[in-house]
Amino acid sequence: MKLLAVETSTDACSAALLIDGVVTERFELTPKEHTKLILPMIDSLMADADLRPQQLDALAFSCGPGSFTGVRIATGVIQGIAFGADLPVVPVSTLAAVAQNYFDQSKPTENIAFTAIDARIGEIFWGVYKKDEAGLAQLIGREAVTLASDVDFPDVKGVGVGSGWGVYALELSYRLGSRVLSYDVEHYPRASAIVRLGLRDFNKGLAVPVELAMPVYLRDKVAQTEAERKQKN
């Protein structure tokens, strides 16, 4: 199995290539440089593996939620490669990738992530994930864009991860109470997480044709703006 993944939805930018279970990655934490970095990252990975896009089995990308511009960059890059090489695409949640990054670095007993990404204007992108038997992030309930003081969560204990905790730690800790054991803001979505979650979802039959590989914004106002912009073009 050969799968290429990209992630550009936050301040981090990365690309990863999975070949028969082995993952290689290019990653940089460089805000607002994604358009300059992502294609060279992809080219470097493909050149080192001596692969052409047509030799891949599928593509995966971080479909959001996240920065509006960042999500569009990943979507556009993947759509371009998929159209040119006639490849299926696996959209993967940015929140799931943050949780996966945490699970990959945490102790085996730490298996719940209260995942929050700063959504600006006083809100966060929120999702609760558990680690499944394969060590992969699985959503509990649903993802949402919400005030930190209004987050929904199951009756479980876990660790807070993601940039939302850096901004709204007090509100989230008060809301979750003893359920949150600690929090760590230094977990970004990475393409190495996207490619592993993408492989799982590909094997589940969740890949889509390129025309259905679309961003997920969660915030209705942003989605409406995108729809209005398409109508004007």
pLDDT number for residue 44:
98
CA 136-141-144 angle, to 5 degrees, is 100
Could you identify the residue written with the tokens 């990475």? 190
Q: Which residues contact 205 (CB under 8 A, 6 or more apart)?
A: none
pLDDT number for residue 226:
40
Instruction: Confirm if 141 and 151 have CB atoms less than 8 A apart.
Output: no
How far apart are the C-alpha atoms of 75 and 66, rounded to whole Å?
A: 12
Sequential pLDDT tens for the chain (233 residues): 999 999 999 999 999 999 999 999 999 999 899 999 999 999 999 999 999 999 999 999 999 999 999 999 999 999 999 999 999 999 999 999 999 999 999 988 899 999 999 999 999 999 999 999 999 999 999 999 999 999 999 999 999 999 999 999 999 999 999 999 999 998 999 999 999 999 999 999 999 999 999 999 987 544 433 433 344 33
Instruction: Confirm if 154 and 140 have CB atoms less than 8 A apart.
Output: yes
pLDDT number for residue 219:
75
pLDDT number for residue 220:
58
Q: Which residue segments constitute the domains of the chain, with CATH numbers given? A: 2-94+189-232 (3.30.420.40), 95-184 (3.30.420.40)
What would the 3-class secondary structure string for 145-199 be? EECHHHCCCCCCCEEEECCHHHHHHHHHHHHHHHHEEEEECCCCCCHHHHHHHHH
pLDDT number for residue 163:
95
HSE (CB half, 13 Å, CA atoms) of 174?
8
pLDDT number for residue 108:
87
| Element (DSSP H or E) covering residue 35 | helix 34-49
